[in-house]
Structure 1
């Protein structure tokens, strides 16, 4: 899967953008590989990566795990409407659940968008019984299970 190039209007030099594009595709690229691709010294590549880390542009290097290889094949998206007074508490409680792989508080300040990964429909049902059902602060639920993954973002800029 190819990633779009990072925008250069973020105050990044062309060299830093090129470096980040390589790292998005291969976070394990060595300083020597980066230097070779970019036509710079290995020391310069290391210095640029360290500067990008120090400035918070690179937050972390992480492994991208294929959930299907771990038996997590049921991918479900929930849109929850929560009473505004409880939204941060509910968001944190759900974020602490191992089934929840991403969770966002939306701009209306009363909606949560949740992505859950479970082994099957029964384990998803157990998750919602434990953490969603019978909670008066959750006003409504819209739930959809992934049918086919056409494109997904693995790594890259959080823009």
Structure 2
């Protein structure tokens, strides 16, 4: 990757629907070159997918909750996979201590979140501890992905 590729990726991170012609204009390259570089970045696995960023509040998901679970290390992969498959889970990370999961959920109400927690977290013998905080206010977010 070079500086041009980084600039191209930042354009696509901001708006994955940017046309090859617009990318070419912004980078001062040909449309064919812009298309070829995007295709190469896809083939190299640098670009994993093109996706839409949905505003959760507009679809009724107003409760954004962050959960930190401590899990028995021998069960962390299994618990992570099971929780990641649930529709309420937006993102899930295994942390460096190899016994912590950091989870972000979106639900339409506190009652729905409570039902999720009761059904999928509480009472699991693999779970050692739970810390949970609901989002109060967004100050900065990385909508559209990380900047390079």
Q: TM-score, normalised by structure 1?
A: 0.90
Q: Deviations over 1:3-41 (max 9, x none)?
A: xxxxxxxxx211111111111111100001111111111
Uncovered stretches (5+) of structure 2, i.e. residues with no partner: none
**Among candidates 3, 19, 27, match of residue 14 of structure 1:** 3
1:156 Cα deviation after fit: 2.8
What is the rounded CA distance, in whole Å, between the counterparts of 2:134 and 2:146 in structure 1?
Answer: 26
| Residue among 89, 96, 102 paired with 2:78 | 89
**When the two structures are aligned, how many residues end up with a matched partner?**
148
Cα deviations by residue, 1:77-107 (Å, 9 ceiling, x for unpaired): 0000001111111111100110000000110
1:3-152 alignment, distance < 5 Å = 12-152=1-141
Residue 134 of structure 1: SS of its match in structure 2? coil
**Higher relative contact order structure (alpha carbons within 8 Å, sequence separation ≥ 6):** 2
| Cα RMSD, aligned residues only | 1.3
**Do 2:69 and 2:131's aligned partners in 1 also have CA atoms closer than 8 Å?**
yes
**TM-aligned CA deviation for residue 56 of structure 1:** 1.0
Cα distance, 1:158–1:127 mapped onto 2, change above 3 Å: farther
Superposition TM-score, scaled by structure 2 size: 0.96
**Unaligned 5+ runs, structure 1:** 1-11
| TM superposition outliers: structure 1 runs of 4+ over 4 Å | none
Q: Distance in 1 between matches of 2:85 and 2:147?
A: 21
